[in-house]
A and B are shown apart, each in its own frame.
Chain A
Amino acid sequence: MISVKNLYKEFKQDDKILYVLNGISVDFKKGEKVAIIGPSGSGKSTFLRCINALETPTSGEIFFKERKVDSSSSEIDDIRKNIGMVFQHFNLFPHMTIFENITFAPTMLKIYSPSQAKELAMALLEKVGLKDKWNVHPSRLSGGQKQRVAIVRSLMMNPEVMLFDEPTSALDPEVVKDVIGLMIEIAKSGMTMIMVTHEMSFVRRAATRVIFMDEGKIIADTTPENFFNNCENVRISKFLNKLI
């Protein structure tokens, strides 16, 4: 469903060039739940952001169902509708109520009529246990609640694939499980998911594939069992040891 070909990304900082992605080629199939793991600064977020063109690659190409992902093409909005994204810091719209946050885009883009959107929104809020918060602003919610709303906002678009960029790392430990629980449910529904995460228990339970990135390259691309049990790579075992 998503095909990444020879992706490079550089950032110019002052007069230095920062090589963040150094030749990434990978394919993601429908229904896969891919966990992307790697040390901080290895380019995971940049890679994820390239997939929906929030970042423009220096070279290389990305295709979403045979359509080229290109931030300057007129098709990009249509492609993005099908690629949900969940951010580390939620990025809810503070000037809108929860209800407006999750219904604004689908109604604006005419994916649902207002009444359909309302029905779906209330059903999803009920599912994540936030139905009573529908008419408050995000500032009234805890981090865990905000992230669940952000996930619902993506789900409302009925995307074909969802990208998660460390969705739990800005959360207090006690609410992480609420968000993880929701993600596991989404996984069960058959959604294609690409997730940057450090929640190893979640990776073990939900991922069908693990990609380990370091210094802008894919070091390992394997199954979770292989990744956790038969790990010969020194960098990976070092990284995993640190986490435990």
Chain B
Amino acid sequence: MKKFWKNTILSILLFFAIMFARVIHAESSLDEIKERGYIKVSTNADFDPFEYKDGDKIIGIDVDIARKLAEYMGFGIEINDVSFDALTLELSSGACDFAIAAMSYSDEKAQSVDFSDPYYNAKNVVIVPVESSIKSVDEILDKRIGVALGFTGDIYCTEHFPSADIHRYDTASDAVLDLLSGRIDAVVIDDVPARKLVNVSDGEARVVDGYLFEESYRVAVPKGEKELLDEINTSIAKMKTDGEIDKIVAQYVGVSGGESVDLIAQIYNNLVNKDRYKMILSGLATTLEITVVALFIGLLIGFTLALINVSKSKNIIMKFLKIAANFYITVIRGTPVVVQIFVIYYLIFASTGLPKLLVAMIAFGINSGAYVAEIVRGGILSVDSGQYEAGRSLGLSAGTTMKHIILPQAVKNVLSSLTGEFINLIKETSVAGFIGVMDLSRAGNIIRSQTYEPVVPLMTVALIYFVLVALLTVVFSLIERRMRSSDKR
């Protein structure tokens, strides 16, 4: 399945991980677990059906396997969801005892973690439309192939099918949607999700006989924890002979997304069934939280930078601050917010262990700050210079004049731009999902990946954003009108 596709980021993370490991790790993991009484397990609940979220519950094949493993070993369990890239870091820092996330062996990863024996053999198979003429897996080598970005299917096809036209999607279900609408000829994905995808395709897709390649899923443990690794390997072997693993897999593949043909049934399945609306609501709450906090951070940064920028001081520190402020504004306005949030999450805050919601708030605050700074600067410059002179000539200090004379007028002049920035911010927070924050957009995406029905989740999310923005627009224009008329009293 997933591979480390952000290679440079990974190496930096590893660097930190190893440093952490040196500092924190003293006692053997197994002893710690025994003392504690339960095992701490990390996964990346983003890969239906191996590990995914149902509401806020983390479930899936791997999760059940981990529970069984803990049971065999005689411990309780605590499961945490982290980003896939953070798993290595979690292991080396001792934040978890083992990681299970449909991971296969790679030399690269083996440098920082140890792998158990395989607990499951995944075959990468090919899905095609029922009526497709493709009969065997090697017929796809020059076709349009859909893969999930960064999954092993992506790596394999890129390497082995140089003449194929490879389309990369965020999730396998998105790839299957495109397959059914004829934009691509085949989808390459692990057999378990493949079976599930075909199950819910209403007989429109099928799995081609045979498989492209096989990979073994293994549990990852911190480097050098031999005792723990031995325990895990023994338990895996036992689970295999007991037939426990097959039982668990069968349970999940059998799950059908439900065949909801008409819209009412789709609405029921996507929003009501399994309390999925709760996910939308909690996503909405997260979106609002991020927006509001980011707005405050943005205003704080923005006003500070604007004041630095318009300052007439010839002080050397001020001059330096001005250059720094301009650099910040230029860089932030000159790069996409998605890239910013990645850099902030994976590079700048990687080693701090701050919750990702907080990181998202900070990232969007930093982003918004640059835009607010320019808006406010424009507002300050739009105030007649005579206002400043009148204030100063009365003996008011530069600060008082700015605060009580200039800024109130400046803000009034740019109020509509500021509210526009706020509204923009709401919509832009939709990329928070890229670092795994469950905001409104991501809630929709998760539902879509569970039901394989795109219409209702997408439209619901769109509608909520729209209503939100429309409401705010009305509220803001009322406030604006009020502020404007107040001067004419």
Which A residues have a C-beta under 8 Å from some C-beta of B? 49, 52, 54, 77-78, 80-85, 87, 89, 91-95, 97, 104-105, 108-109, 135-137, 139-140, 153-154, 157
Contacts and interface: CB of A to CB of B under 8 A. Distances in A.
A117 to B, nearest CB: 13
A105 B489 CA distance: 22
Nearest to B313: A72
11 contacts: A54-B389, A54-B393, A77-B396, A87-B386, A91-B387, A93-B391, A95-B412, A105-B394, A109-B394, A140-B488, A153-B394
A100 B286 CA distance: 43
B137 to A, nearest CB: 73
B396 A87 contact: no
B487 A139 contact: yes
Contact of B394 (A95, A135, A137, A157): A157
A95 B395 contact: no
A91 B408 contact: no
B384 interface: yes
Interface stretch (B80-88, B245-253, B360-368, B397-405): B397-405
Given A94-B487, A139-B487, A140-B488, 14 more contacts: A49-B389, A52-B393, A54-B393, A80-B393, A85-B390, A87-B386, A87-B390, A91-B387, A91-B390, A92-B390, A105-B391, A105-B395, A109-B394, A109-B396
B326 interface: no
A95 B387 CA distance: 11
A78 B390 CA distance: 15
B404 A104 contact: yes
A109 B392 contact: no
Nearest to A93: B405
B352 interface: no
Q: Which of B393, B409, B486 has the most CB of A within 10 A?
A: B393
A167 to B, nearest CB: 13
A97 B408 CA distance: 14
B392 A54 contact: yes
Contacts of A153: 394
A91 B389 contact: yes
Top 6 A-B residue pairs of the complex, sorted by shortest distance between their CB atoms: A81-B395, A91-B390, A105-B394, A91-B386, A85-B393, A80-B395
Interface of B: 384, 386-387, 389-397, 400, 404-405, 408-409, 412, 486-489
Nearest to A153: B394
A17 B487 CA distance: 41
Contacts of B394: 80-81, 105, 109, 153-154, 157
Nearest to B396: A105
Given A136-B489, A139-B488, A140-B489, A93 B396 contact: no
B393 A94 contact: no
A135 B486 CA distance: 12
Contacts of B395: 77-78, 80-82, 105, 109, 157
A58 to B, nearest CB: 15
Nearest to A137: B487
Nearest to A105: B394
Contacts of A97: 489
Contacts, number: 70
Contacts of B412: 95
A89 B396 CA distance: 19
Given A94-B487, A137-B486, A89 B386 contact: yes
A136 B486 CA distance: 9
Nearest to B408: A95
A108 B404 CA distance: 10
A184 to B, nearest CB: 22
B409 A95 contact: yes
B400 A108 contact: yes
B404 A137 contact: no
Contacts of B384: 91
Contacts of B389: 49, 54, 85, 87, 91
Given A54-B392, A93-B405, A140-B488, A77 B386 contact: no
A135 B409 CA distance: 19
Nearest to A80: B395
B63 to A, nearest CB: 59
B247 to A, nearest CB: 73
Nearest to B400: A108
A87 B386 CA distance: 8
Contacts of B396: 77, 105, 108-109
Contacts of A105: 391, 394-396
Contacts of B386: 87, 89, 91
Q: Which of B396, B409, B412 has the most CB of A within 10 A?
A: B396
Nearest to B389: A54
Contacts of B405: 93
B174 to A, nearest CB: 52
B486 to A, nearest CB: 7
A33 to B, nearest CB: 20
Nearest to B312: A71
Contacts of B486: 95, 137
Contacts of A80: 392-395
Q: Which of B386, B395, B486 has the most CB of A within 10 A?
A: B395
A32 B365 CA distance: 58
A163 to B, nearest CB: 8
A135 B489 CA distance: 8
A198 to B, nearest CB: 20
A97 B488 CA distance: 10
Contacts of A139: 487-488
Nearest to A72: B314
Contacts of B391: 93, 105
Contacts of A85: 389-390, 393
B313 to A, nearest CB: 9
A117 B416 CA distance: 36
B378 to A, nearest CB: 18
A109 B401 CA distance: 12
A182 to B, nearest CB: 18
A220 to B, nearest CB: 28
B47 to A, nearest CB: 56
A139 B488 CA distance: 6
A137 B488 contact: yes
